[in-house]
Chains A and B, each alone.
Chain A
Amino acid sequence: MKLLVIRTPNQLRLSTALAILAALVFSLGPVARAGAQTLYKSSSQPHASSVRVNGTSTAHDWEMEGVFIGGTLDFGAGVKLDQAQADPAGLQDNKAPAKAHVIIPVRSIHAKVDHLPEVMDGLMQKAMKADKFATIEFTLTSLTFKGPHTAGKPFNFETAGELSIAGVTNKVSFPVTIDCLEEGKIKVSGSAPLKMTAYGIEPPAPNFGLGLMKCGDDVKINFDWTLKERK
């Protein structure tokens, strides 16, 4: 937060900026050392994260929810997110040399229904071949900053990566926001639309004896992923 007092005018030359930065690093110590730590790990505290899967069917819309997202996010050397600043530091062509791997256990996602949620959980797990492919995984391939950024607000990024569900891996791309929280925590939030059939999943069509109900192919995954700076 001590960086707040330093306002760098646009016309300031790069060498001057570097000199000021170097001075800050040595004078203010580790608190303001930009890019010192870029690796974040999922917070293992319960309900720190959430993932919601929203879908449709011929009968009614449905929702499933999980409260666990595992994995790591490394922004890459030199990248520093400070929401007080206009842009993230350390990007090249607005790209962060980031690496991330996200793990969501299929069986941790449960139907949000009052009556017999086990039935819907079972249908979903069967459709997703959870006995063979127990996790949904995402590997980041690019993280691109989308400006402009309003100081004090979360940053917007566009992600690209490989999403693996039920043994099928597809290239996907979706926007996320990254919010810097207190105590070295960040929250990555986003929403990714996808089609079940693109992952070899037949939309469930359970027969409840009251006529056939068929789920729609399109689903949307919304997530809030909380990570902690690795100490």
Chain B
Amino acid sequence: MKNKDDLPESNRRDFLKNASLAALMALAGEMKLRADQAVQTATNAGAALTKIPPPPPVNFGVIGLNDWGREILKSLAVMPSAPVVALCDHYGAALRRAAKEAPGAKTYEDYKALLGDPNVQAVVIATPTGTHREIALAALAAGKHVYCEAPLADTIDDAKAIARAAREAVKLVFQAGLQQRSHPEVDFLLPFIRSGALGRNVMARAQWHKRDSWSRTAPTPEREEELNRRLHKATSIGLLGEEGIHQIDIVSCFLHKRPKAVTGFSSLILWTDDGRDVPDTVQAVFEYPAGVNFLYDMTLCNSFEQAYEVYLGSDAALMMRDFKAWMFKEVSAALLGWEPYARHDVFYKETGIGLVANASKQNTLLGTAVSFQPYEHTPLYYALEAFLINAGQQAGAVKDFFQMYPDGDLKDLVENLKTLKTKPAANWQDGLEATVMAIKANEAAVTKQKITFEKEWFEL
């Protein structure tokens, strides 16, 4: 979710406080343990640190250098083993500006030239959605690992073409930019939710609220039009497609089902004076099997409560926001045993039981309960880190395979690659499923209709 890292002010303060506390702890020789971290022990000077070693380096090329492309560069810049060796944008000013973030990287105005650079091992595609197909297919054909931003495409045909090419490129890693899939909090919550801790699924609800025009200014009318493609139906799959895909994906992932149908509503209420025709407010109802519905609303007109997801089960509800989660239990539901020891937070008239990785009864009794520290990195960082690790690991395994078995069977290679312990990440199938759901949700909202999902939309 592109804006999840926009923490509210209070969180930002907490973050700074915790960050400086962490630095102090490190200096004082304390050990800090977290689900998403290495065992890092800073002891007296000269002592060796025991930590997860940096992954094998992978040379990155980044294609598409608008705001999001520069966010990608910032994440890669602080990541060990992820040198950015090439940059590409057809707009010279964007290219020059981004080049400052990645000193030493070669710059290209044509993505084909970047793909021809043998030094580039992996590419991140952050260009407008409609251009993904051409670039992703060329990148895979050029033997590059591909991280393609979500949505994969703005048509089902294009999304399928990308998915098909990714499936066939068995030696390469393809990751769809559905960042939450790689977030440690999601990794922690997923087995919890799927284990049935909430009882029977009843319904899910999510919102994405922001007071933001989505409009951009630029030095020339042509550039402005290009930057504002999201505002026009002809070049945009709207709020649900461009932004909502992330929450639609994560809810489907938690419910572990594919929706049967989606009904949508939409209106253009506030941002009416710049010639746009994309709605600024949408609602969608996804129907899942067994009578479970997912209610989702998005607006650019009001920021109340911002973004979160709620899952209602027969025993408890679970709320996730800013990558923190709380459980709200029904009085009649059986205790799992650990709840009294967990962190509790009051929300108006409800008490939420904090779901925190690494929390323990001992922590609680000793008064050292694990607090809700913001995760150290942004969701984008974790997703790119997973891509880096998986791509480096896969490249090594492919090389090893052909060294061991020079005329080895590709089917055996595929089976062997399944033995790798990969970091959680959205693959081509996840990318295709989410893209289809988002495209059709937008279509349902714009036409104010119910659309029944057809099986063949999701299959290659």
Where the two chains meet, the residues of A that have a C-beta atom closer than 8 Å to any C-beta of B are 41-42, 44-47, 67-71, 103, 105, 107-108, 110, 116-119, 121-123, 125-126, 134-135, 206-209
Asked if B52 and A108 make an inter-chain contact with CB atoms under 8 angstroms apart, the answer reads no
Interface string of B388-432 (1 = CB under 8 A from A): 000000001100110111001100110110110100000000000
Residues of the B chain whose Cβ atoms lie less than 8 Å from the Cβ of A207: 41, 43, 47-50
Q: List 26 A-B contacts (CB under 8 A).
A: A41-B405, A42-B405, A44-B413, A44-B416, A46-B418, A70-B400, A71-B404, A103-B404, A105-B396, A105-B403, A107-B400, A108-B400, A110-B421, A118-B52, A118-B53, A119-B38, A119-B52, A121-B53, A122-B52, A134-B400, A206-B48, A206-B50, A207-B41, A208-B50, A209-B41, A209-B43
Q: How far is the CB of A220 from chain B (nearest CB, A)?
A: 22
Smallest Cβ distance from B53 to chain A, in angstroms? 3
CA distance A206 to B409 in the complex (A): 40
How many pairs, one residue from A and one from B, have CB atoms within 8 Å of each other in the complex?
78
Q: When chains A and B are docked, how far (Å) is the Cα of A90 from the Cα of B254? A: 63
Picked from A41, A69, A119, the residue with its CB within 8 Å of the CB of B51 is A119
Tell whether, in the assembled complex, residue A44 and residue B38 are in contact, meaning their CB atoms are under 8 Å apart. no
Q: Would you call B409 and A108 a contact (CB within 8 A)?
A: no
Distance of A104 from chain B, by nearest CB (Å):
8
Q: Which of B47, B401, B405 has the most CB of A within 10 A?
A: B405
Q: Are B396 and A116 in contact (CB-based, < 8 A)?
A: no
Contact indicator A46/B50 (Cβ below 8 Å): no
Docked Cα-Cα span, A16 to B43, in Å, equals 79
Q: CA A98 – CA B421 in complex, angstroms?
A: 37
Please classify the interface of chain A as helix (H, G, I), strand (E, B), loop, or mixed, using the class held by over half of its residues.
mixed
CB neighbours (8 Å) of A121 from chain B are: 53
- CA–CA, A105 and B43, complex, Å: 33
B39 close to chain A: CB less than 8 A? yes
**Which residues of B41-67 have CB atoms within 8 Å of chain A's CB atoms?**
41, 43, 47-53
Cβ contact within 8 Å between B403 and A67: no
B39 in contact with A44 (CB, 8 Å): no
Measured in the bound complex, the distance between the Cα atoms of B397 and A70 in whole Å is: 13
In the complex, the answer to whether A116 meets B39 with C-beta atoms within 8 Å is yes
Chain B 12-48 near chain A by CB (<8 Å), digits 1 or 0: 0000000000000000000100000011010100011
* Residues in B neighbouring A68, C-beta threshold 8 A: 400-401, 404, 416
| In the complex, chain A residues whose CB is within 8 Å of the CB of B416 | 44, 46, 68
In the bound assembly, the distance between CA atoms of A206 and B39 in angstroms comes to 11
- Interface 1/0s, chain B 359-388, versus A by CB < 8 A? 000000000000000000000000000000
The reply to whether A45 and B415 form a contact with Cβ atoms under 8 Å apart is yes
